[in-house]
Each structure stands twice: as structure tokens, then as C-alpha cells.
């Protein structure tokens, strides 16, 4: 029995829990407020994709399959029923030997999704047998998903459910109408699971986190069920969807389902809801933080507490208990290396900083608190939380879900990880800014960073300036090169259709991207068409960006805004060609194609020189040294050996320093006196020491004994050492 029940509605991710409820539960622990959390999505998926679940699906005749593909699936139904439990166990990491049988063929029944295998064979040719088997098993599940969607429940989707009803729903009418209809097939699975948990937990308050439009229908259906069958339980909704879409809420019918809707950071609003619902005797008046509710039959917004939101250092460590961590399934849907991180493997979610340290991009919702209010977490606190979560979950993979992780904090986190000798893997979202030098990239890699994703957006300096991205194409090229050479995978978010973007700029942007993939400094990317949102600078001052919004009456959701670009260009037509070319570039082919080959309509020739990105990479100044830069040694202690060297009758003593790392051995030879100084200095510069030494301090120490530090620092032996792990950050 717990006071609160925290729910993630279906569907978000199959491979790992969405972190909102874990964040909240971690905070509630600090207040000794009892709570239970559940991910309805994974529980419904496991029920649906089981021997019993498929038996039920194939015996349901809501709609007889009409297409040849679905008739084929139906005729193979017993093969699906016989194999499903083994496949799910394999995708859960519990039955790895099945991979060979899956890859050998004639084990999985195959329908239309497998027709793409001829195209995919080269893409997955270099993958291991486990990953290839995951991909085949994913196609098998997608075939079943196609069957469910056409024959059983048209709203079904693995990572969204009835998303159409939540996306840009300015009016509540359509969603409300659907909620008055009979339960869908998926509802029939979802609600019994929910009821069982309600009986077990006996909560006084149910909190449903709704991150995306695809979670909205399920959230309302669950709340509706609770209101009907457990009227004493109060219900509340928070999360990414209300934070961005329901800020102008006027629709009273919403409160037939939810008693409260909270905005932005959930800790203090939820704590106050707890006292209002569960401990009303402890408060003389009803205090709320950023909360919609009904009073006197009118929707009111209450923000009447004088208390401030909690600092990030005070919100506690995310708590993943109660969740079925061993039962999530890893899938590989498409041959995009970064997207596979989203769907493959169990990742613990953490945040390095609240908000965005840049906070200027004109397409972004920078007016909202979740981006506008920037507050980093101390590196030691963050790594403490990482250690706590590893101990709790047994998983050492971390996805930092920042808008853009701050480079300085990433550096300190990497140092702290190395000092504690933790073995973790992590990835995050960044801005491609000049702080990410080659040396910082090597440090991040040494700490376990495996991938970064960042916005190149439109590869045009004019548009990057209009977007206020704060980077140039040249800078992005240099940073992506630094990450790539360090062994960190780089994914670029790409944009087309930004206001006033010309056809020429779209083609030139594609050429820039082509060159970056051909040079191997990008490994992954995805084109997104620009969408105007109500809380971005473009949405708030559209005239300044050359767009004419199509305004509608807002009573429910308000985020995406339809608009007309004054250029009159139809950017939709570029979608297929941009995405098809990128798919091929990601797999290292078709760089020699003329850009015209990707489009079935006439495009202009690119104005970008064929060596433009190469020239960008040659412009970087690697000799400049800031006196305040930190010098860090991430290697080990060398093996030393003295020997003598003679020239023209003069003999002097030299020292050979041999360094071993996990992959190679390097030898450098230096005059003995300077070598002894270097060995002692490397000990002081070691990443294991809390105290860091700057370039200026190292130079002063050297010149107290010898002359001309720069001549020594830029010598061939030290250059070799710098490539090996002597870092300037």
C-alpha cells in the first residue's frame, strides 16, 4: 500500500523505462513519501506478444485481414504462436543462443517486412550475429504489428498509441469522442493490468506522466477508468506533453478525467498535491505550484505558494525500483547507428543540467522553464548518482537526456569517472561548439563516452546565424572530426524548410552533409522538416522570420502551428530525396552521385566547392595554448631505461620511456634530466590527482630548471605523448 502511484502510459520505449517516474520517485524518497511506479507500456507489450496474447489476437475476428500480406501472417499464425516466447526472451537478453537459429533461417515466419532484407544485407553485413538476429526479430515483431494495426486495433504502434489524437489537438472534441467509444483491443489488455496494480497499491493519488502525443489517449483512458471504478482516487497529469501543449488550457471536460494538471518541474507541484490530497490536515490552505484544476466549475491555474522549486542538488537520485528492468526488450529497427542506441540496450537516464546553457536557438521552445532555467549539477553529485543507480539496477550504461550537455561539466564528469575508476558507457546531446577540442574528445572517450548527437541543423552559415545556433559549418566539421578521431560516434540532427530557406540553400546544405559523410567525420544523421512551435521565437514573433501563422481557437493543446513561408517554397517535396541520399551516405556509398540523382524534379547545381569541408579541417590552429588550460595525463607510468648517445666525441645520457596502454606500446627518448622531470610531472598531472596543473604552471616549473619550454612541448617526443594521452583541456 502506497500513497502515490506513478504511471508511464503506453507506449514510449521498449528497451528502457522513460525516466520521468524514476526521477519523481527518487525525489519523493527524500521526503519519505511512499510511491509505486509502473510502465504500462512494457507490461502491455509483454502481455500482447506472448503465446497467450497471440492466440487471443488470431482468434479475434474484429476485421478479417484483406491484404495478401496479412492473409499470409494469419495462415502462419501457429508458427508465430510457437516462436513468440522464445523471441521475446532473446530480445530480453535471456536466450542469446537463439541468435544462430534466427540467423540460419526457417525459424521465424516471414512476411512483408522481410522483403527489405536484400537491401539491408549490406547494411548489416559487418554486424555481429547477435545484432543481426535482433534486427530479424524486430522485423518479425513489426510484421505482427502490421497485422494488429490492420486487423485488430488501428491505433496500435510500438512507440506511440493513437498519436494522431494528441498531435496538435487544438480542440478536445475528437479525443473526447474517442474516449466515449467502446474500449479498443489494447484498452482491453491495458485496463486489467492497471486495475490489478490499483488493488495492490491502493493509492490515494495517481500521477500519470505524458511525455509525447502518442501517450495521451492511453493516459486519458486510464484516468477515465480510475474515475469510474475508483472515484475516491485523485488523478493528476504532468510531463512533456502538458508542459509544451497545455499551457493555455481552457477545456473543462479534461477535468472529467484528471483532477489536476501540473506544468514544468514536477517535484514541488507533486509534493503540494500530496499534502492537499493525502495530508490535508497539515496545510491550513490549499497551496499549489503551476497547477490547473476546476474551481466553481471554471478551469483555474493556481501558483499560490511562495516556495521556490528545488535545486537540482536536492531532488535525489532517480529510483528505478518497481519497474520490470529485466523484462525490457532490445530491438534494432533501422540501420541508423544512433537510432539503434535509442532502441537497443537498457540505458539509465540522467541529466547533467536543468535547462540549456545556450538557450538561444530560434526554433526551440526557449521561453519555457525546462529550457530557459539553466542549472547544472555538480560533477561529484552526478557521479555519486551514477554509482547509486549502477548499484540499484546492475546496468552501467547511461543516457544523459540534456537539451545540450555543457562541455565544462562533461569534462568534470569525465575526470570524476576516471578518478573513481568506474567502468561505464554513456552518450548525450551536445552543441557542436569549439570547446570540444581533440584533447577533450579523448578525455570523454577515456571516461566511457561512446556517442554524441548535436544539431548541425541547416548546413548554411546564413541560416545558422538566423537560427542563432552559435556555430558555423567550419566549426561543426572540426568538432565532428575531433569526436570521430577519438572513437566517439557522431549523429547530426539536420533540418530543412527553415523560414526563408531557399532551394539553393537546401541543395548546398545537402552537399555539405555529403562531404562530411564522405570524409567520415559524421557516422549518423537524420533530416527533420522545420516545425513552428508556439513557445519558440519563430512562433512568438513570426513576422520577424518571414512566416505567416494560421491561427486557430485554442481550448486544449497548443504547440505546433501551421504556417506559410513568404518564399512560397514547398519544402515537403525535398523530404524523400534528402532522406534517401542520407541513408546511402551513412553506409559509405553513392558519394559520387550527382545531387540531382536524388530528386525527381529539377534542382540547381550546388555552389559549394567539392573540397569545402576539407579546407575547413585544415584551418584549425593547433599551436595556440591558453595559459589557464589544464594539463592532464590519462596514461600509466612508463618503464624507464637509460642509455648513452654520442656525437662528434660528445657523450650524454638519454632515457627511453616505454608506455603501454590497452592497444599499443610507444617509446620516446629524451635527455635524462628532462625525462626525469617529465616522469615526475606525469605523476602530478595524472587524472587520479584531484589537483589540476595549468599550462602556465607546468611551463614555470620546467623553466625553473631548463630553458625554452615551448621548444620542449612541441618536440616530436612530447607530440607523440600528447597523441597518447597527455591532454590540454
**Percent of the chain topping pLDDT 90:** 79
What mean pLDDT is predicted for residues 681-702? Answer: 93
Condensed to tens digits (0 to 9), the pLDDT of residues 370-394 reads 899 999 999 999 999 999 999 999 9
Q: Quick: pLDDT tens for 563-582.
A: 888 888 999 999 999 999 99
CA distances from residue 454 to 372, 414, 429, 489 in whole angstroms, order as listed: 19, 19, 6, 11
Of 470-474, 525-529, 550-554, which gets the smallest average pLDDT?
Answer: 550-554
Q: What are phi and psi of 95, to 5 degrees?
A: -145, 55
Residue 162's pLDDT band (boundaries 50, 70, 90)? Answer: low
Report, as an integer, the average pLDDT of 105-120.
82
Residue 526: what pLDDT?
A: 92
Determine the pLDDT at residue 252.
95
All three cell numbers of 704, joined, read: 625553473
Residues 265, 270, 276, 278, Cα dihedral to 10°: -170
Per-residue pLDDT at 117: 64
Q: What angle do CA 530, 533, 539 make, to 5 degrees?
A: 100
What does the pLDDT average to over 59-79?
85
Cα–Cα distance between 225 and 222 in angstroms, integer? 5
549 pLDDT above the threshold of 80: yes
- Whole-angstrom distance, CA of residue 618 vs CA of residue 276: 63
State the residue for C-alpha cell 519523493: 28
User: Looking at the predicted structure, is the pLDDT value of residue 124 above 60?
Assistant: no
- Residue pair 378/354 in contact by the 8 Å Cβ criterion: no
Tens digits of per-residue pLDDT, 144-155?
A: 999 999 889 988
CB atoms within 10 A of CB 50: 15
Of 43-52, 361-370, 384-393, 616-625, the least confident: 616-625
Compute CA distances 135 → 75, 98, 113, 138, whole Å: 23, 13, 11, 5
pLDDT for 201 beyond 70: yes
What pLDDT score does 444 carry?
Answer: 98
- Other beta carbons less than 10 A from residue 249's beta carbon: 21
Query: Is the distance from CB of 261 to CB of 254 less than 8 angstroms?
Result: yes
pLDDT tens-digit series, residues 222-250: 999 999 999 999 999 999 999 999 998 99
**Domains by residue range for the chain, with CATH:** 1-41+159-323 (3.40.50.2300), 63-152 (no CATH), 330-618 (3.80.30.20), 630-728 (no CATH)
Name the pLDDT band for 342 (thresholds 50, 70, 90). confident
- Residue 195, burial from CB neighbour count under 10 angstroms (0-12, 13-18, 19+): middle
3-state secondary structure 416-468: HHHHCCCCCEEEEEECCCCCCCHHHHHHHHHHCEEEEEEEEECCCHHHHHHHC
Residue 123 is predicted with a pLDDT of 52
Strand residues in 303-405 grouped as ranges (E) = 348-350, 353-354, 375-376, 397-400
Contact in structure between 522 and 489 (CB atoms under 8 Å): no
Residues 146, 70 contacting (CB under 8 angstroms) = yes
Determine the pLDDT at residue 141. 95
Which residue stretches of 344-406 are H helix?
A: 369-372, 379-393
Judge whether residue 490 has pLDDT over 70: yes
Q: What is the rounded CA–CA span in Å between residue 455 and residue 450?
A: 18
pLDDT given at position 115: 85
**Average pLDDT, whole number, for the chain?**
92
Please count the other Cβ atoms lying within 10 Å of the Cβ belonging to residue 385.
20
3-class SS string, 269-302: HHHHHHHHHHCHHHCCCCCCCCEEEEECCEEEEE
Q: Residue 280 above 70 pLDDT?
A: yes
Give pLDDT, residue 587.
Answer: 84
Instruction: Cell numbers for 202, please give them.
Output: 491502493
Contact (CB, 8 A) for 93 and 102: no
Burial profile 564-600: b = 16 or more Cβ within 10 angstroms, e = fewer: ebeeeeebeebeebbeebbbbbbbeebeeeebeebbe
* Helix, strand or coil, per DSSP, at residue 598: helix
**pLDDT score for 552:** 79
CB 527 within 8 A of CB 582: yes
* Rounded alpha-carbon distances, angstroms, from residue 495 to 137, 303, 460, 609: 32, 37, 11, 21
Query: Which has more pLDDT, 8 or 661?
Result: 8
pLDDT in tens, 127-137: 678 888 998 99
pLDDT at 427: 97
C-alpha closest to that of 254 among 241, 270, 267 = 241
pLDDT score recorded for residue 218? 96
661 has a pLDDT exceeding 90: no
Distance CA 136, CA 110 (A): 9
pLDDT band at 118 (very low <50, low <70, confident <90, very high): low
Instruction: Inform me whether the pLDDT recorded for 181 exceeds 80.
Output: yes
pLDDT at 624 over 80: no
Element (H, E) at 511: helix 503-518
pLDDT tops 80 at residue 121 = no
Is 445:486 a contact under the CB 8 Å cutoff? yes
The share of the chain scoring above pLDDT 70, in percent, equals: 95
**Cα–Cα distance, 720 to 671 (Å, whole number):** 16
Q: Is 563 exposed, middle or buried (0-12, 13-18, 19+ CB in 10 A)?
A: buried
- Distance CA(89)–CA(567), nearest Å, equals 53
**pLDDT of 335:** 60
Mean pLDDT, to the nearest integer, of 722-728? 92
Instruction: Output the pLDDT for position 541.
Output: 93
Reply yes or no on whether the pLDDT at 119 is more than 90. Answer: no
The model's pTM is 0.92
Smallest CA-to-CA distance from 230 within 261, 185, 264, 196 is with: 196
pLDDT of residue 558: 84
Task: Report residue 404's pLDDT band, with 50, 70 and 90 as the boundaries.
Answer: very high
For residues 134 and 100, the answer to whether their CB atoms sit within 8 Å is no
With 0-12 / 13-18 / 19 or more C-beta atoms within 10 angstroms meaning exposed / middle / buried, residue 177 is: exposed
Report, as an integer, the average pLDDT of 28-53.
Answer: 97
pLDDT at 159 over 80: no
Give residue 61's pLDDT band: very low, low, confident or very high (50, 70, 90). low
Note the pLDDT of residue 270.
98
593 CB contacts (<8 Å, ≥6 apart)?
A: 581, 584
pLDDT digits (tens, 9 = 90+) for 290-310: 999 999 999 999 999 999 999
pLDDT confidence of residue 574: 96
pLDDT of residue 161: 74
Q: Mean per-residue pLDDT for 397-409? A: 95
Amino acid at each position: 500500500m502506497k500513497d502515490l502511484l506513478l504511471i508511464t502510459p503506453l507506449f514510449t520505449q521498449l528497451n528502457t523505462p522513460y525516466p520521468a517516474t524514476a526521477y519523481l520517485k527518487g525525489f519523493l524518497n527524500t521526503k519519505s513519501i511512499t510511491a509505486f511506479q509502473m510502465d504500462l507500456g512494457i507490461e502491455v507489450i509483454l502481455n500482447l506478444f506472448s503465446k497467450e496474447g497471440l492466440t487471443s489476437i488470431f482468434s479475434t475476428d474484429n476485421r478479417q485481414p484483406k491484404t495478401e500480406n496479412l492473409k499470409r501472417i494469419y495462415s502462419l499464425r501457429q508458427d508465430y504462436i510457437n516462436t513468440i516466447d522464445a523471441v521475446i526472451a532473446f530480445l530480453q537478453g535471456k536466450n542469446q543462443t537463439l541468435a544462430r537459429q534466427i540467423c540460419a533461417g526457417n525459424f521465424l515466419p516471414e512476411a512483408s517486412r522481410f522483403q527489405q532484407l536484400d537491401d539491408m544485407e549490406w547494411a548489416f553485413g559487418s554486424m555481429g550475429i547477435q545484432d543481426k538476429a535482433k534486427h530479424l526479430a524486430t522485423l518479425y515483431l513489426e510484421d505482427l504489428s502490421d497485422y494488429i494495426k490492420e486487423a485488430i486495433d488501428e491505433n496500435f504502434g510500438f512507440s506511440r498509441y493513437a498519436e494522431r489524437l494528441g498531435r496538435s489537438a487544438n480542440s478536445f472534441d475528437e479525443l473526447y469522442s474517442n474516449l466515449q467509444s467502446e474500449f479498443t483491443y489494447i484498452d482491453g489488455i491495458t485496463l486489467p493490468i492497471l486495475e490489478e496494480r490499483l488493488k495492490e497499491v491502493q493509492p490515494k493519488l495517481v500521477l500519470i506522466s505524458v511525455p509525447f502525443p502518442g501517450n495521451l489517449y492511453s493516459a486519458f483512458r486510464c484516468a477515465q477508468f480510475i474515475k469510474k471504478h475508483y472515484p475516491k482516487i485523485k488523478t493528476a497529469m504532468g510531463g512533456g506533453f502538458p508542459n509544451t501543449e497545455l499551457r493555455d488550457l481552457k477545456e473543462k471536460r479534461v477535468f472529467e478525467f484528471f483532477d489536476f494538471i501540473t506544468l514544468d518541474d514536477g517535484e514541488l507541484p507533486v509534493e503540494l498535491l500530496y499534502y492537499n490530497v493525502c495530508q490535508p490536515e497539515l496545510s491550513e490552505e490549499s497551496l499549489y505550484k503551476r497547477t490547473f484544476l476546476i474551481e466553481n466549475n471554471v478551469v483555474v491555474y493556481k501558483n499560490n505558494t511562495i516556495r521556490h522549486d528545488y535545486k537540482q542538488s536536492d531532488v535525489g537520485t532517480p529510483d528505478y525500483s518497481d519497474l520490470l528492468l529485466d523484462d525490457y526488450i532490445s530491438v534494432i529497427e533501422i540501420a541508423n547507428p544512433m537510432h539503434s542506441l535509442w532502441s537497443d540496450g537498457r540505458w539509465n537516464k540522467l541529466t547533467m543540467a536543468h535547462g540549456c546553457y545556450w538557450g538561444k536557438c530560434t526554433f526551440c521552445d526557449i521561453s519555457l522553464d525546462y529550457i530557459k532555467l539553466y542549472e547544472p549539477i555538480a560533477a561529484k553529485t552526478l557521479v555519486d548518482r551514477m554509482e547509486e543507480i549502477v548499484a540499484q539496477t546492475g546496468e552501467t550504461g547511461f543516457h544523459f537526456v540534456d537539451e545540450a550537455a555543457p562541455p565544462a561539466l562533461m569534462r568534470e564528469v569525465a575526470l570524476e569517472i576516471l578518478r573513481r575508476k568506474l567502468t561505464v558507457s554513456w552518450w548525450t546531446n551536445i552543441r557542436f561548439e569549439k570547446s570540444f577540442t581533440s584533447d577533450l574528445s579523448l578525455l570523454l572517450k577515456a571516461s566511457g563516452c561512446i556517442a554524441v548527437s548535436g544539431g548541425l541543423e541547416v548546413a548554411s552559415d546564413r541560416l545558422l546565424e538566423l537560427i542563432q545556433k552559435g556555430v558555423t559549418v567550419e566549426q561543426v566539421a572540426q568538432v565532428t572530426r575531433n569526436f570521430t578521431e577519438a572513437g566517439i560516434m557522431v549523429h547530426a540532427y539536420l533540418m530543412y524548410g527553415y523560414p526563408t530557406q531557399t532551394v539553393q540553400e537546401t541543395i548546398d546544405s545537402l552537399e555539405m552533409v555529403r562531404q562530411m559523410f564522405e570524409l567520415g567525420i559524421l557516422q549518423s544523421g537524420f533530416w527533420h522538416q522545420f516545425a513552428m512551435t508556439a513557445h519558440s521565437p519563430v512562433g512568438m514573433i513570426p513576422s520577424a522570420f518571414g512566416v505567416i501563422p494560421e491561427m486557430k481557437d485554442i481550448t486544449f493543446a497548443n504547440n505546433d502551428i501551421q504556417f506559410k513561408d513568404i518564399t512560397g517554397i514547398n519544402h515537403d517535396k525535398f523530404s524523400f530525396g534528402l532522406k534517401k541520399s542520407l541513408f546511402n551516405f551513412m553506409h559509405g556509398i553513392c558519394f559520387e552521385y550527382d545531387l540531382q540523382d536524388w530528386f525527381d524534379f529539377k534542382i540547381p547545381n550546388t555552389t559549394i566547392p567539392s573540397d569545402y569541408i576539407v579546407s575547413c579541417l585544415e584551418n584549425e590552429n593547433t599551436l595556440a595554448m591558453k595559459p589557464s588550460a589544464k594539463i592532464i595525463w590519462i596514461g600509466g607510468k612508463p618503464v624507464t631505461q637509460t642509455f648513452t648517445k654520442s656525437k662528434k666525441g660528445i657523450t650524454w645520457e638519454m632515457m627511453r620511456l616505454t608506455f603501454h596502454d590497452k592497444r599499443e606500446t610507444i617509446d620516446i627518448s629524451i635527455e635524462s634530466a628532462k625525462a626525469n622531470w617529465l616522469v615526475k610531472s606525469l605523476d602530478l598531472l595524472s587524472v587520479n590527482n584531484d589537483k589540476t596543473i595549468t599550462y602556465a604552471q607546468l611551463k614555470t616549473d620546467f623553466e625553473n630548471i631548463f630553458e625554452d619550454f615551448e621548444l620542449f612541448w612541441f618536440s616530436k617526443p612530447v607530440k607523440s605523448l600528447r597523441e597518447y594521452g597527455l591532454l590540454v583541456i
